[in-house]
Amino acid sequence: MKQFFGLFFLLGICAHSWTQPTYHIIPLPVSISYGKTQSQLGKSICIINNSPELQEESKYLSSALQEAGYEVKLTESNKDKNVVDLLVDFTLVKNVTLPASTEAYELVLQNSVINIKAGSEAGIFRGIQTALQMIPFHKGMSVKLPDCRIEDFPRFQWRGLMLDVSRHFFSVAEVKAYIDQMARYKFNVFHWHLTDDEGWRIEIKSLPQLTEKGAWRVPRTGKFGTRPWPLPDEKPTYGGFYTQDEIKEVVAFAAERHITIVPEIDVPGHSMALLAAFPELSTKKEPKYVSCGFKFSEWYPNGTFEMLVENMLNPADSRVYEVLDKIFGEVAMLFPGSYIHAGGDECDHRYWAKDESCRQLMQREGLKDGVDLQSYFMNKINSIIESKGKKMIGWDEILHGGLAEGAAVMSWRGMKGGIEATRLGHKVVMSPTTHAYLDYTQGDHSLEFPIYSDLSLKKSYTLDPIPQGADSSLIMGGQGNLWTEHIPTLSHAFYMTYPRAFALAETLWSKQESKSWPNFISRVERQMVRFDEKGRSICKSLFDPWVRVKKKNNGIFCAIESELPEAQIRFTWDNTFPDMSSPLYTGESLELPDGEVILRAAVFKNGRQAGRTLSLSRSEIMARAK
């Protein structure tokens, strides 16, 4: 069965040498070449596995194929190859001729046999994800698959997504679903944001108050930052937490998909849920509420902020470190990965500056300001985490005042912090707001919910985690972050994560020089069909227009944009809806005419409307004018 694999590609075959269909794989493999033949695929698939180490991978593939509508049989030999439509064969080899990556794999399809070779179980699993994208959902008919050869390995070792479960609690089943979808696109790090001002989500057995009080808040609806404060004696009923048994269950689930979980305990700021349980650990020692989304900070145009409510731990109180030692000790026992994320972001030092115990500590330690005091705190946390056999990673504010030895940096405020960290000899994960914040609005504000900023699919795709001036050897990779202030359901979490996670997956796995926006979009469109077939929500603002408004020479002008390659934009001002007979937008900005007009625009491709119709009234256009 395996003898022909080497012969097949001695025929002078290369990529794009024929006109038959190609695969739409995300992330793009390092190398894919097509043959001149096709393999027939019906309804039955046999998985051959004679390696005891790959039993979990076999079961995973079997389950995924059954979910896609196939009849699947598991076997240890190829004796059934004549009675099934497709064989999938795994081979674990130590001398696979690929770069020294534990996730490298080789996949060959010919004569209705898929053979996956790798030097590790993780490599086999990544190859399985490619195979699953090659095999379509079964629709009751046979299909032909182009024969091919793929050699593949990742560009970066850290390819992550973060899910914030503090602002809104997601069940164990929902977290598993999020992780399972990540695996399909070869992500390998799940950053689990477990604590924040809005909820404490992890059981700490030595400190039951954390979940008794910190895991629950009063129920509220409406936009975060505008919600009413809790009323006296109002019962907190919204929230939840994960027991340690549930944590172990999720960790095992992720490990089966070769995904490492990085837990985050966010300190010293973002600690209102912790302080709700232990208010004496703040400087003012006043009773605290778990935030229900009320306004507790003021942000200013220059990027600075002021906390209206104390949400900071007191770095001068020895009891703080005793509590955190217990917390990080139990966290370290639950998560086998190397890193624990300790937060360190968005700390307002003014409460410390007003506290006598903090001023005395600063005087004793020779600390000149709150930045130095935060550095003192984070160095203490680094020592605690290292004492548990783990490494600390934190947001780029942990650079301020001096970075703890051995700590890694997650650079979120652009890439400047990451560049600085590499120059200091520290490892870095790039996660800039400009490219990787998946809660940002991904379409025109008339069609998508506007929040703090915008991030289009195309902008996400332009990310390169190795900026000029950085030591590339210290950049572990990158990560997309999904903060959930405005994301209360798993369905909406998927809607906001994808398709921008496709862009990040490709950036973090594929060769930078292989990236092509038109080619990427052709593959995104196919992946969207897969989400539709699973009944899973995904954002399709790619097919919608964007309108940018500017003042110029006493007039108001509208520029209409589309990210869809080879698309047309058609528009109307006359209260009709755009169709193929409507005016074609040629790229020149449209001047706003007099009267109570409505601008309507839509994107067309191949003679058909691709997405939604955008509508902006005169007053809405005037409000956007700059």
Q: Are residues 165 and 145 in the same domain?
A: no
pLDDT, residue 256, reads 97
Q: Is residue 130 part of a domain?
A: yes
Which is nearest to 481 in space by CA: 397, 398, 412?
412
Mean pLDDT computed over 468-485: 97
Percent of the chain scoring above 90 in pLDDT:
84
Residue 370 neighbours by CB under 8 Å, 6+ apart: 347, 349, 350, 352, 353
Is 538 among the domain residues? no
88: pLDDT strictly greater than 90: no
Domain check: are 290 and 426 in the same one? yes
pLDDT at 10: 29
User: How large is the average pLDDT for residues 326-343?
Assistant: 98
Domain hosting residue 616, numbered range: 544-624
The last residue of one of the domains, among 468, 501, 533, is 533
In a domain, 221, yes or no: yes
What per-residue confidence (pLDDT) applies to 331?
Answer: 98
Structural domain contains residue 115: yes
Same domain, 125 and 32: yes
pTM for the model stands at 0.94
Largest Cα–Cα distance in the chain? 81
Mean pLDDT calculated for residue range 443-451: 95
CATH number at residue 603: 2.60.40
| 315 vs 95: which has the higher pLDDT | 315
Q: CA 407, CA 386: separation in Å to the nearest integer? A: 10
Q: Give yes or no: residues 617 and 469 share one domain.
A: no
Name every residue whose Cβ is closer than 8 Å to that of residue 454 and which is 6 or more positions away in sequence: 440, 441, 442
Residue at which a domain ends, from 494, 509, 533: 533
Per-residue pLDDT tens digits for 351-366: 999 999 999 999 999 9
- Residue 51 located in a structural domain: yes
Residue 50 lies in a domain: yes
The answer to whether residue 12 scores a pLDDT higher than 90 is: no
The verdict on 144 and 178 lying in the same domain is no
Are 503 and 568 contained in the same domain?
Answer: no
- Whether cis (ω within 30° of 0) applies to the bond prior to 499 is yes
Instruction: Give 244-293 pLDDT, tens digit per residue.
Output: 999 999 999 999 999 999 999 999 999 999 999 999 999 999 999 999 99
- How many structural domains compose the chain? 3
Out of 502, 533, 564, pick the residue that ends a domain.
533
Task: Classify residue 539: in a domain, yes or no.
Answer: no
- Assess whether 74 and 122 both reside in one domain: yes
Answer yes or no: do 567 and 478 share one domain.
Answer: no
Tell me the CATH number at 143.
3.30.379.10
What pLDDT, on the 0 to 100 scale, is given for residue 296?
Answer: 79
CATH of the domain at 502: 3.20.20.80
Mark whether 245 and 295 lie in a shared domain.
Answer: yes
Same domain flag for 387 and 453? yes
Q: Are 224 and 164 in contact (CB under 8 A)?
A: no
Q: Give the per-residue pLDDT at 98.
A: 66
302 and 419 together in one domain: yes
The single-letter DSSP state of residue 473 is G
Q: What does DSSP assign to residue 448?
A: S
Residues 199 and 91 in one domain: no
